[in-house]
Amino acid sequence: MTRWLCLFSLFFTLPTWASVDLIEVDKSKRRMYLIDNDQVIKEFRIALGKRPKGHKVYEGDQRTPEGRYYLDFVMDSSDFYRSIHISYPNPNDVAYADKLNVSPGGNIKIHGLKNGETRPAKYIQSFDWTDGCIAITNQEMDELLKLVKIGTPIEIRW
């Protein structure tokens, strides 16, 4: 029994030395991968904006941006259980939105469930429901914030 528990913990817990040097988001698979030294150390099922396909162009388009961004600060006050901000829009996003005479929007985050949500997390994560953010469960959000640092790059693609 003890041997089995040791093997279980080897395969299902992260080493204490693990740290994330890149986050990859595959919007088409609804997956977020935490990467350390080119190795996936954790995978999360994610929910996205209600119109997930394609790059975010303007505020209110309900799309999650695509490209390379950075985690730039933790938001202490939010409508969601814990969140970390993504550096969208970048200068290219702003220039393109200006060209179209629209606002690029912002306030894109990785966050937990909406504060006060009473439905089970498994149900909430079974469909896209954000306005463009990347949502994971509250427990996963706690884990993510232990593994990432401000400045960690995030690559988001379809």
How far from 34 is each of 21, 44, 110, 122, CA to CA, in Å? 8, 8, 13, 20
Estimate the share of the chain in helix, then strand, then coil, as percent rounded to the nearest 5. 25, 30, 45
Write down the catalytic residue from 6, 55, 85, 133.
133
Residue with tokens 């999650």: 64
- Compute the half-sphere exposure of residue 24: CA atoms within 13 Å on the CB side of its CA: 14
Rg value, the chain, Cα: 17
Reply yes or no on whether 111 is catalytic: yes
Residues catalogued as catalytic: 111, 133
